[in-house]
Chains A and B, each alone.
Chain A
Amino acid sequence: MKFNRRQGLKGAIGAAAGAWAGGVAPRPALAQSRAETLRQVMGGTINTLDPTIPGGTRETYGLAMSTYDRLASFGRKQVGGAWVFDLEDIRGELAGKVDRAADGRGFTFHLRDGATWHDGSPVTAEDVKWSLDRAVLAKSLAPTQLSSGSLTQAGQFRIVGERSVEVQLEKPDRLALANLCVPFAMMINSRLAKQHATAEDPWAQAWLKENTAGGGAYMVETYRPGQQVVLKRNDAWKNGADGALPFFRRVIVQTVPEAATRANLIERGDADLAIDLQASDVPGLERDGKVKIVSIPQTNGFNAVIFNTRMAPFDDARVRQAVAAAMPYEDMFQAALFGRGRGLFGAGWAEAPDAAFPQPMPLRTDLDRARRLLAEAGLRDGFATTFSFSASAAPVAEPMAALVKEALARIGIQVTIQKLPDAQMTTMVVEKRLPFFAESGTAWLPATDYFFRTYFTGEQRWNFSSWNNAEINDLAQALRFEADAAKYASGCRRMITLLAQEAPQLMLWQPNHDAAMARDIGGYTYWFHRQVDYRDLRRG
């Protein structure tokens, strides 16, 4: 073996890999490097190293969490034996200390002592200011996200000391700090990035798409867009929860488009982790016991049946409630997801008991009630409509649609099932041209007011049902700045109650996030961005 050709790589790793790929057991001395390497296979691709670039895939978010630091980070908590991110627990990441203004209208971030970028240069307040400015000014996905935390102008970010930056808010936005924990609020080595900025591209977006200028726990060693990324641990990183380094020295992330091939690789032990296997394969893998499956309900997501509230006959709340009372929820849950998730139906309340959202809604099958409501709405003989879903949602939506068709036929509603290519479905949803369809949503920051603002107000895509309820509109805006916890909770309960009464969409369930991994991998955490954070994982 000639080591001169393998310069970018430690010879030992290459040798171990060569033996490994050839189907030969690694030699004992080299087994260590395999143990300290994590290999993830994914169906998606990583198409940019800067997650804020429009068109960036979801997979880039997970990567950015490991390659860049943010000022602050969410903690994690145990839910039902699995780790889940905790929106309520925010700690400093690149900032060692975060001071909150007494009136809630700002924060002061004090940088961690000795914090450095990947190139070894120290992190300065200027870097932080430049990164925050970029996040609100550059033409990217970041400004709209950060505006949900009232972070919109460069003037809000002020350098107040050699290693301190102040963030000022006009009003005490509940999600301002949380927005500084998302992938788009990454901290960039501004001196390095500025070297690659041009007059047309002042924020070095072209360069940062292909390169990283961060200080995160991992450095990008090789990047082949759409195929593979290899990460190397940054041994100087001290910004973790307890200052500890991540376990894995090296992370290999590879695109393997075929789900069956991914499952094979995991089962054979050649790959360590996959989070996008086919849902129908997961129970089988779990039974065979060769791999570990961590199943966590996606606490910040939902699947729903949507009515277009501006299109007849669904503009009549009684028609929506009639359909709601005709749906066979439990059967749908079993047929679509094999019950793998958390149901959001079947509750018995009339007033929401809890401020958390999504929570189980009072949705129950009651055909008599359905017929009565339909008759009240003047549609005793029923009507005909179309139920649409996107091709990529078909594994879940197709069995569900069949049950919807069958159930609604019982109250006289004739349903035509329509499967649409994703891009077409998206366009039709945005243009509000579908009457009745299946959709799903997730929120990075699953605060109840944020959910309602995003999914139930406004003229944008995510208000699937085009719901326009004056009380919801007011509450969703006002609660954003509500400092009083009791008032906030009662406002949230009121919104949830209204949702149940008006039924612009029927919440069905939160599907499980299924991560398949080698049996010796531990620490897997479900994050708001639904990707892997390599810093959490360990072997043994």
Chain B
Amino acid sequence: MAFLLRRLAGVVPTLFGVVVAAFVLTRLLPGDPAVFFANSVTADAATIAAVRQKLGLDLPLWQQFLVYAGQLLRGDLGQSVGTGQPVATDLLRLLPASAELTLVAFALAILVAVPLGVAAALRPGSVIDHACRLLSTAGVSLPTFVSGLLLIYIFYYQLGTAPEPIGRIDPFAIPPPGITGFLLIDTLLAGDTEGFAAAARQIVLPAVTMALFALAPLARMTRASMLGVLGSEFIRTARANGLRRRKIIVSYALRNALLPIVTTLGMVFSNMLGANVLVERVFAWPGIGSYALDSLISLDYAPVQGFMLLMATIFVLVNLVIDLLYAVIDPRTGLFHA
């Protein structure tokens, strides 16, 4: 418990640093947002000045920062000019979409990568090992927008088996009442199996695209880590003692190989959540990556800052969960005793 509290206390300076960095970085972007947003043909110097004042950009930088910090303390992330909504509202609306896609892709990647990595490690140099290598090389080297467009071309355009690659549900359907924001869960909670099937069909292609990208580091790490453990003495002892093969692999080898895999999982997860802008754009997925990119291009400061803060928070939380997982997987790390 003390560990948990200490870890949580350590988060505060980290987040403060992120707030400062986000603020400074957005101000360093080249270009003047007031000029950019006052974009009508009739906009003159007065219009630009009015927009600048409305955005609060006429104040000196330190005052702008104090205003922003004050807003943050009240839980207000500011207004997005691009969507015309409060940033907090936007992020709350968009985060579930990104999170749902990421989680499904993540689960898919784990389900394929870990068994594949284990199998490759058990038979190095075999067909399955080469298959693992091929898949992970392809996953790394194919940019996600290429694999995404390719999947759309084959399954939607040519074969017609996939639904149109636009967003989370088809445009005519009424979304289920938003409880969790995860359509796959909300539809089930509402007892709408038809809606669930539609949402599931919609998520397959983007999730596969994302999983392809996450597959490579996971499979490689699993294979390497398993190879190391399988060569160690306690495994030889276990074999010599005639333990069952399954018991050796799952209970002893895999459990000991898990630490680096879990570390990789944490990093892959955080990356997927924030960095998969391209998948979101290709599939018109209304997620936070696309939102942050649009805001960045149009110099919309508040959403960019809000996004950075959110991602930092998620990253910190994921790291915390991973630390806790370490303790569960390997009690020797002693996190709970210190």
| CB < 8 Å neighbour of A268 from B38, B164, B286, B294 | B164
Q: How far is the CA of A148 from the CA of B170 in the complex (A)?
A: 43
Would A17 and B171 count as touching, CB distance under 8 A? yes
A147 vs B41: C-alpha distance in the bound complex, in angstroms? 12
State whether the Cβ of A284 lies closer than 8 Å to any Cβ in chain B. no
Query: Contact between A256 and B54 (Cβ–Cβ < 8 Å)?
Result: no
Residues of A within 8 A of B31 (CB): 421-427
Q: Which residues of chain B from 81 to 127 have any CB-CB distance to chain A below 8 Å in the complex?
A: 81-85, 90
Whether B297 and A423, one on each chain, are in contact in the complex, defined by CB atoms closer than 8 angstroms, is yes
* B58 interface hit (Cβ, 8 Å): no
B174 within 8 Å of A by Cβ? yes
CA distance A529 to B31 in the complex (A): 26
Between A and B, how many residue pairs show CB distances below 8 Å? 177
B29 touches A423 (CB 8 A): yes
**A141-B282 in contact (CB<8A):** no
**A21: nearest chain-B partner, CB-CB:** B170
Q: Which residues of A contact B153 (CB under 8 A)?
A: 264
Q: Which of A299-337 contact B (CB under 8 A)?
A: none
A22 near B82 with CB under 8 A, answer no
Q: Quick one: closest A residue to B156, CB to CB?
A: A264
Q: Is A533 an interface residue when CB atoms closer than 8 A count as contact?
A: no
* A228 proximity list for chain B (CB < 8 A): 167, 171
A226 nearest CB neighbor, chain B only: B83
If A261-B166, A430-B35 touch, whether A441 touches B50 (CB-CB below 8 Å) is no
B312 proximal to A (CB < 8 A):
no
Q: Which residue of A lies closest to B300 (CB)?
A: A55
A459 within 8 A of B: yes
Q: What is the 8 Å Cβ interface bit string for chain A, positions 418-449, against chain B (1 contact, 0 not)?
A: 00011111110010000000000111100000
B contacts with A: majority SS: loop
Q: Measured between alpha carbons, how far is A444 from B41 in the docked complex, in Å?
A: 8
A260 touching B149 by the CB < 8 A rule? yes
Distance between Cα atoms of A254 and B201 in the complex (Å): 19
Q: What 0/1 readout, one digit per residue, does chain B (144-175) give for beta carbons within 8 Å of chain A? A: 00000100110011001101111100111110
Expressed in whole angstroms, the Cα–Cα distance for A148 and B85 within the complex equals 30
Q: Which residues in A have their C-beta under 8 angstroms from that of B43?
A: 141, 144, 460-461
Give the interface segment out of B16-24, B190-198, B212-220, B247-255.
B190-198
Binds B, one of A1-9, A64-72, A186-194, A379-387: A1-9
In the complex, are the beta carbons of B36 and A426 less than 8 A apart? Answer: yes
Shortest A413–chain B CB gap in Å is 27
- Residues from chain B with a CB closer than 8 A to the CB of A414 are none
Sorting the interface of chain A by its residue count into under 10, 10 to 19, 20 to 34 or 35 or more gives: 35 or more
Interface residues of A in 215-260 (CB under 8 A from B): 225-228, 230, 252, 254-258, 260
Tell me which residues across on chain A come within 8 A of B36, comparing CB atoms: 422-423, 426-427
Say yes or no: A21 contacts B164, CB within 8 Å: yes
Query: Which residue of A is nearest B53, CB measured?
Result: A139
Report yes or no: A18 in contact with B42, Cβ–Cβ below 8 A. Answer: no
Tell me how far the C-beta of B99 lies from the nearest C-beta in chain A, rounded to whole angstroms.
17
Interface size on B, residues (CB 8 A): 62
Contact indicator A254/B171 (Cβ below 8 Å): yes
Q: Which of B273-289 contact A (CB under 8 A)?
A: 281-284, 286
B33 within 8 A of A: yes
Check: A127 CB closer than 8 A to any chain B CB.
Answer: no
Interface flags for B41-62 (1: CB within 8 Å of A; 0: not) read 1111111101100100000000
Q: Could you tell me the distance in whole angstroms from the C-beta of B183 to the nearest C-beta in chain A?
A: 14
A421 touches B297 (CB 8 A): yes
A203 and B163 alpha carbons, distance in the complex (Å): 43
Check: B264 CB closer than 8 A to any chain A CB.
no
B-contact bits for A458-496, CB 8 A (1 contact / 0 none): 111110000000000000000000000000000000000
Instruction: Tell whether, in the assembled complex, residue A443 and residue B41 are in contact, meaning their CB atoms are under 8 Å apart.
Output: yes
- How far is the CB of B277 from the nearest CB of chain A, in Å? 10
User: When the two chains form their complex, are residues A18 and B172 in contact, meaning their CB atoms are under 8 A apart?
Assistant: yes
Contact of A531 with B by CB under 8 A: no
B8: min CB distance to chain A, Å? 34
Q: With CB as the reference atom, state the residue of chain A lying closest to B37.
A: A55
Residue from the list B40, B163, B286 in contact with A22, Cβ < 8 A: B163
**In chain B, residues 194-212, which have Cβ atoms closer than 8 Å to a Cβ of chain A?**
194, 198, 201
Q: Does B319 contact A (CB under 8 A)?
A: no
Contact A426 B35 (CB under 8 A): yes
B330: interface (CB < 8 Å) = no
Q: Does B308 contact A (CB under 8 A)?
A: no
The interface residues of chain A lying within 8 Å CB-to-CB of B152 are: 261, 264
Complex-state Cα separation, A148 to B40, whole angstroms:
13
CB distance from B42 to the nearest CB of A (A): 4
> A227 contacts B286, CB within 8 Å?
yes
Residues of chain A within 8 A (CB-CB) of B170 are: 17-18, 20-21
Question: Do A22 and B201 have beta carbons less than 8 Å apart?
Answer: yes
A168 to chain B, nearest CB (A): 21
List B contacts of A18 (CB < 8 A): 170, 172-173, 194, 198
A267 at the B interface (CB under 8 A): yes
User: Which residue of A has the minimal Cβ distance to B278?
Assistant: A258
Quick one: given A18-B170, A444-B41, are A144 and B33 in contact (CB under 8 Å)?
Answer: no
Q: Nearest Cβ in chain A — how far from B46, in angstroms?
A: 8
Decide yes or no whether B256 CB sits under 8 A from chain A. no
Q: A55 with B164: in contact, given A423-B299, A427-B32 (CB under 8 Å)?
A: no
Smallest distance from the beta carbon of B60 to chain A beta carbons, Å? 19
When distances are taken between beta carbons in the complex, the residues of chain B under 8 Å from A5 are 174, 176, 190, 192
What are 21 contact pairs spanning A and B, CB under 8 A? A5-B176, A9-B174, A13-B172, A17-B172, A17-B173, A21-B198, A41-B166, A47-B82, A48-B84, A144-B46, A145-B41, A148-B42, A268-B160, A425-B31, A426-B36, A427-B35, A430-B32, A430-B48, A454-B41, A461-B35, A461-B43
With A48-B84, A264-B153, A430-B35 given, can you name 7 additional A-B contacts, CB distance below 8 Å? A54-B37, A141-B42, A255-B284, A258-B281, A260-B149, A423-B32, A424-B31
Q: Which 6 A-B pairs have the closest CB atoms?
A: A17-B172, A423-B31, A21-B170, A144-B42, A424-B30, A55-B81
